[in-house]
Amino acid sequence: MKLVERFELFKREKEAYQELFRELEKGQKPWAMVISCCDSRIVPELIFKADPGEIFVLRNVANVVPPYGIFPSVDAAVEYAVEHLKVQELAVLGHSQCGGVKAMVEGTLETGGLFKWLESRARQIGGICCTKSAEKLNVKLSIENLLKYPCVEKAVSEGTLKIVGLYYDFANFTLELIE
């Protein structure tokens, strides 16, 4: 199995990580949370040059942050990062050529889990003709929802948390701030 083979390669390099992982046994203290797409081309730790333990990452299709209370796994991850890990930055990372956003724009979602996950967002961005514009709007809509999460709202108002929207064009190596 390829995953096991890759682990063996990682294990051979353990000297470089041994001290870091010993320190991480005491617990994690990430300074940021990144909500990213699960697209295999987008790797937040690589993009932001982060070592293990520095970034708390939530990945899902199309980096969607649904309204609070709709999908408990997203609520729980955000709450854990903000209230328990005390991250100082929370970013929604959108990206170029997002298949989830493309499906929303083209209206090709029909049934199943993907439809359930993206249906409400698809109604919000489905009328946009340009996928790139829709990808950026998707980030803005996720930020809007995120700011209504009770723990986020509280941390932002107390000045302990900064929220940011980012758009990564992986083919051109650019990162844009979404406001």
To the query of whether residue 95 is one of the catalytic residues in this protein, the response is yes
To the query of whether residue 38 is one of the catalytic residues in this protein, the response is no
* CA 105 to chain centroid: 20
Selecting among 6, 12, 22, 37, the annotated active-site residue is 37
Closest CA to 98 of 164, 34, 168, 145: 168
**Are 54 and 88 a contacting pair, CB within 8 Å?**
no
- The dihedrals phi and psi of 109, each to the nearest 5 degrees, come to -80, 130
To the query of whether residue 41 is one of the catalytic residues in this protein, the response is yes
To the query of whether residue 84 is one of the catalytic residues in this protein, the response is no
Dist. CA 37–CA 23, nearest whole Å: 29
Selecting among 12, 22, 59, 98, the annotated active-site residue is 98
- What six digits make up the tokens of 36? 């990213």
Selecting among 6, 41, 84, 123, the annotated active-site residue is 41
Dist. CA 151–CA 156, nearest whole Å: 9
DSSP conformational letter for 61:
G
Selecting among 6, 12, 22, 39, the annotated active-site residue is 39
| Residues carrying an active site annotation | 37, 39, 41, 95, 98
